[in-house]
Amino acid sequence: MERYPHSLGRVFDSALRLLAARCTVDPRAARVETWEAAVNALQSGSAVFATATASTGEGSVPCLINRQVRTLPAGSDEAASNLGTWLDTFWLAVVCRDQARIAELCRFPLDRLIAVGFEEYLSHWVDALRTFGLRGPGLVERLTRAMETSSPDVAVRVPRDLLEGVLAPPIHLFGLFVTGDVNGFNEALVRALELHRAYWTAEGRSEKPGGHLALGPLALACLALDAGMPVRVESGYLPHHLLHRSWLGEFPT
C-alpha cells in the first residue's frame, strides 16, 4: 500500500467486497475474521479521508490498516474522497462503534467531497448525517431535503430499482430513528431488507457478494440499538454479532 498510495480507493473497494464475501459464508458474523474484515474496511476508508485532510506540506500520515501502522503520503488518493466513499465509511464507523472515526469523518468539509457523478440527494444525505454526527443545527431541514431529492422523479440519473431498493430506504429509516418512532423504525427496517433482497436477488445480481450485507440498514439498526431503541428484526442481512457489538474491543479499530 505504501508503494502504491494512489490506489487507496481501490484498496477500500476491495476491503468492502471482502467484508461482503465474509458475510456470505458467516451471515451472523460469529467468526472474528468477519469482524476483522469490517474493521479493515473501516480503516481503509478512513485512510482516504485522513490523507485527503492532511496538507501536502505535512508529508505523510500514519494510518492503522490491517493491524499495521502504514505511512501514507498526504493527498494519496484524493479522487477517492467522494460522497459515496464517505457514506460507506460512515456506515462502517457506526457498525464498528468507532466514535473517533465518526467524528473525524463528520469534520471533513462537505465542499471537499467530490460530488461529480452523484445525484444531488447524496450531498444532502451526507450533509444530514454530518450534522447528526456533529450535533449541529438544522438536521430536520437537511434530512427533509435529502428525502425530497431522493424521489425517483428528482434523482432521475439513478436506476429506479437501485434507488428504491437500496439507496433511498436508509434515508427514511434515519428519519424514523431521529423521531424515535420505534414501531415505525422496525416496520421500515423489515421493508428495507425486503427491498434490499429483491434488488440483489434479481437476475444478474444474485451471484454478487455485495448484496449479502445491507450496510446502511445495519448501521442504522446499530444506531437505534445503541440509543436504547428495541430492534426486533433478525435477518441474515444484519449480521447478529455486528449488530450486537459482540466483537467490540477484540483489537483496536
Express each pLDDT in 139-157 by its tens digit. Answer: 999 999 999 999 999 999 9
Domain total in the chain: 1
Could you tell me if 186 and 210 are in contact, meaning their C-beta atoms sit under 8 angstroms apart?
Answer: no
Structural domain contains residue 20: yes
User: 105 lies in which domain range?
Assistant: 5-243
Structural domain contains residue 157: yes
Structural domain contains residue 249: no
pLDDT at 208: 78
Express each pLDDT in 189-236 by its tens digit. Answer: 999 999 999 999 987 787 777 788 999 999 999 999 999 999 999 999
Structural domain contains residue 156: yes
pTM of the model: 0.95
Looking at the predicted structure, is the pLDDT value of residue 180 above 90? yes
Structural domain contains residue 83: yes
Structural domain contains residue 251: no
Structural domain contains residue 253: no
Structural domain contains residue 102: yes
